[in-house]
Amino acid sequence: MSNLIEQALRNATDTRACVIEDGAIKNIVQIFRECFPNAARAILIADPRTWNAAGEMVAQVLEANGIGFSKHIVEEGGKIFHAEYCYVEEVRSAIKDTLSTNEGIVPIAIGSGVINDVTKLASGDLHLPYMVVATAASVDGYSSFGASITSPEGAKQTYSCPAPRAIIADLTVIKNAPREMTAWGYGDLLSKIPAGADWILASELGVGEWHDRAWHTVQDGLAEALGNPEGVRDGDSKAFGKFVEGLMLGGFAMQDMQSSRPASGAEHMFSHILDMNHHTYKGELVSHGAQVGVATYFMSKFYEKILSFDYTKLDVEACVKAWPEWEEEEKLCRDIFKSTLFPELGVEQTKPKFHTKEALREHLTLAKNIWPELKEKLKKQLLPSEEIKRRLEIVGGAVFPEDIGTTAREMADNTMTAVHMRNRYNALDFTYRTQQMKAFAQSIY
C-alpha cells in the first residue's frame, strides 16, 4: 500500500481499509473479517453490468470461504442508470429484509458512482457500515462521505452519510470498464488542479477554511496520478494504479475535512448547474466527470486571464464604487434561482460571503498588496490550459462545451449562477469583485 493511502487511512473517520491492486478481490474475505468482525453475512448490491464485471467473482470468493450472502440486482430503468432516490429505497428495503433474519449483515456495493452512492445512503440510513468493490475509475466519490442522489422532487443533491468502511479497487476489473468511464474519472481528478488554485486564492485572501492535512492528501500525489494520461488510457499497471489512488485520495481528503472543498472548486459549480437544469446531450444526462472536465479546461483558461492581469495596479476605488449593496445583490440572487427547485439557494449561499463596500475595499487592497507572491503560488499550482486540453484529449475526455451539448455562451452566462450558488470563495468570486468575471468568461475560447 502506498504511503499516501496509508496516511489517509490513519486520518479517515469511516474507512479502515482500502486495497488498490490487480486481483484485489481475492483479499475480500480477509478485509471482511478484519473490518466487520461481528458480521456473519453479506448482501451484494450490483446492477446487471457490474454483476458481470465483478459480482460473480466476489460471490465465488465468499462462497469458497464459507461466508453466506444474498444478492440484490438493481435493474436498469432506462438506457442509463441514475442515482435516483427510488433506488435508495429499493436497496434499503432489500437490506432490511435480510436484517430481519440475520444479525451482522454487511452491504457490499459492487459498482461505480451510482451503485456506491445508492448503497452508501441506504446503509447510512440503516446505520450499517458497508464495503464497496469498485468497478470503474469514473469518480472520486468512492471514499468520500455523502452520496450524490436525485431527490424525489428531481433535484440532484448530496445527502449526508458515512463513507464506506472498506474499499476494494481491483485494477484488473477497473481497467476493463468502458473507456469513457476512465475519461470521466480523469476529468474529475484533473479538476483538483484549478480547484486547488481556488483553495489557495481563498486562503491567501483570508476567506474560507484551510485544512493542511486534507490539502496534502489530495495534492501531494496529484502530479504523479495525472502525469501519464497515455498510461491511464492504455491501462498501464503503474500509471493506472496511481490514477485510481489519486481518485481515492480526493475522496479521503473530503472525508477528513468533512467538506468537498479539497476536491471541488469553481469548475464543479458548472457541473452542478447543468445537473440542476437537467441538462441532456443526445437525449442522455451527461456524466459528472465529462462536465467537470470541460469546466476544468474553462477554468484553466480563466485563470490564465487572471494571471495575465497586474493586480498591483487594480483600481480598488472603482471596484468598490461598482459593487452593489446587499439589497440589490439579494434581489439578483432571487432572480437567478427563482425558476429552480432551490429558489433560496442563492441568498443562503451568497449572504455569508458577501462583502460590504468597506469590507470589499479592505479585501481588494489585500489582494493588491500580496499579488506578486499570490500570483507565484497560483502559477505553481496550475497547469497551462493547453496541457489540460492535451491530457483530456489523450484519455478521450470531453474538452469543449459542444462536446457535452452546451455552448461557450452558456458557460459564460453560467458564471453568474456559479458565483452565487456556494458559500465557497473561488476565482469567480474574486473576479466578480474586481468587475472582470463577465469579460473574462466571454472570451475563453
Binding site for Zn ion (CB under 5 A): 188
Q: Are 397 and 183 in contact (CB under 8 A)?
A: yes
Q: In the bound complex, what is the minimum distance in angstroms from residue 5's beta carbon to Zn ion?
A: 19
Q: Identify which of residues 67 and 147 has a Cβ nearer to Zn ion in the complex.
A: 147
Select from 16, 63, 56, 20 the least CA-distant residue to 35.
16
Q: Are 318 and 343 in contact (CB under 8 A)?
A: no
Q: Identify which of residues 108 and 226 has a Cβ nearer to Zn ion in the complex.
A: 226
Q: Identify which of residues 55 and 113 has a Cβ nearer to Zn ion in the complex.
A: 113
Coil/strand/helix, residue 30: helix
Q: Are 336 and 349 in contact (CB under 8 A)?
A: no
Q: How far apart are CA 92 and CA 88, in angstroms?
A: 6
Q: Identify which of residues 14 and 188 has a Cβ nearer to Zn ion in the complex.
A: 188
- DSSP-derived pairing of the beta strands 156-159 and 147-150: antiparallel
Cell of 71: 444478492
Q: In the bound complex, what is the minimum distance in angstroms from residue 267's beta carbon to Zn ion?
A: 9
Q: How far apart are CA 395 and CA 183, in angstroms?
A: 5
Q: Identify which of residues 188 and 329 has a Cβ nearer to Zn ion in the complex.
A: 188
Q: In the bound complex, what is the minimum distance in angstroms from residue 268's beta carbon to Zn ion?
A: 6
Query: What is the residue whose three cell numbers read 476489473?
Result: 173
Q: In the bound complex, what is the minimum distance in angstroms from residue 258's beta carbon to Zn ion?
A: 16
Query: What is the residue whose three cell numbers read 444474498?
Result: 70
Cell of 231: 498510461
Q: In the bound complex, what is the minimum distance in angstroms from residue 350's beta carbon to Zn ion?
A: 22
Residue nearest to Zn ion as judged by C-beta position: 188
Q: In the bound complex, what is the minimum distance in angstroms from residue 127's beta carbon to Zn ion?
A: 27
Q: How far apart are CA 271 and CA 294, in angstroms?
A: 9
Side-chain-side CA neighbours of residue 344 (13 Å): 1
Q: In the bound complex, what is the minimum distance in angstroms from residue 415's beta carbon to Zn ion?
A: 19
Q: Identify which of residues 170 and 188 has a Cβ nearer to Zn ion in the complex.
A: 188
Q: Identify which of residues 165 and 192 has a Cβ nearer to Zn ion in the complex.
A: 192
